[in-house]
Amino acid sequence: MSWFNARRRRPVAGYAALLLGLVVVGLLYGAFSSTGGSAQASSPGPSQSDINTGKDLFDATCSSCHGLDAQGTTQGPNLIGAGAAAVDFQMSTGRMPAKEVGAENERKPVTFSAQQIYEIADYIASLGGGPAVPDAQQVSTAGADTALGSELFSANCAQCHGFAGAGGALTYGKDAPPLTQATPTQIYEAMLTGPEAMPVFANGSISPSAKRDIIAYIVDTRVEPNPGGFSLGRTGPITEGLVIFLGGMGFLVIIALWITAKRRDPRPTGME
């Protein structure tokens, strides 16, 4: 404690306290801002009873925005032809049902069972086709060409999602979500249906096997080690620059202050 008292009035102490405060706030924010998981299930087998149950669920939870016949309203888009894949992506990531009407919906905890989601998906598919939910075989990354996936990802996905899938900013306050929690099925569905601002990467332009390559790259990248031990959010030069600028330069400034600080006489001469 005397060590602390002797130093707390020094000029450096203020900087140290500020730094400590920032670190504590950052850690607290990080601890409380993490989000939950997502639903995962096997391929659905559409039947008339599924479709009927799906319609009931749709009428109860979705029709207020998308209309009683999924024809769309001023609040929500027309879902005829949207396809089962779009429904499964939106609902299994918790984006739908939306909390509010807006250009973007965040990933949030799922409130429906996988079975219920498939029933609604079957109902929407029965209205006008559209891309189906991919089965486990289609999204399997076994034997995929990760190198080609990396090339395709950097040409078509990395601009928005970042080179390591950490997400990034779009125009006018929107953002591309991180791909760290997305399941292979959800990634496949997103490419197929182009949710929200994301463009569509249909099978004509990105073939099913190329999609598996991209998924393999995304999944592989998650377990890549972080050189130096810190991921810094994996958003690239922005956080790295910020850390160097604030942390590195701040450290150098403190060192410079210490080097040039006047030495104090710690005790009166009479005490010798």
Cβ 113 to other proteins, closest distance in Å?
30
Structural contact between residues 114 and 38, judged by C-beta atoms closer than 8 angstroms: no
Find the binding residues for other proteins in span 130-149 (CB under 8 A).
148
189-208 residues near other proteins, rule: CB under 8 A: 194, 196-202, 204-207
Peptide bond into 225 cis (omega under 30): no
Nearer to other proteins, 12 or 27 (CB): 12
Is 174 near other proteins (CB under 8 A)? yes
Interaction between residue 264 and other proteins (CB under 8 A): yes
Helix (H) or strand (E) holding 23: helix 11-32
Give the residue with the Cβ less far from other proteins, 168 or 178: 168
How far, in Å, are 96, 111, 176, 190, 264 from residue 193 at the CA level? 15, 22, 15, 5, 69
Cα separation, 39 vs 94, whole angstroms:
9
Both tokens assigned to 74: 């001023």
- Options 28-36, 44-52, 63-71, 169-177: segment touching other proteins (CB under 8 A): 169-177
Q: Is 272 in the site for other proteins (CB under 8 A)?
A: yes
User: Which run of H or E residues covers position 175?
Assistant: strand 175-176
Q: Name which of 253, 135, 142 is nearest 188 in CA terms.
A: 135
- 54-68 burial code (b ≥16 CB/10 A, e <16): bbebbeebbbebbbe
The reply to whether 237 sits near other proteins by the rule CB under 8 A is no
Tell me, residue by residue from 21 to 60, as one string, x for binding to other proteins by CB under 8 A and - for no binding. ----------------------------------------
Does 158 engage in binding with other proteins (CB under 8 A)? yes
CA distance 40 to 77: 25
- The number of beta carbons lying within 10 Å of the beta carbon of residue 37 is 11
| x/- track of binding to other proteins for residues 79-118 (CB under 8 A) | ------------------------x---------------
Least distance to other proteins from the beta carbon of 39, Å? 25
Residues at the site binding other proteins, with contacts judged by CB under 8 A: 103, 148, 151-152, 155-156, 158-160, 168, 170-172, 174, 176, 194, 196-202, 204-207, 210, 225, 227-228, 259, 263-267, 269, 272
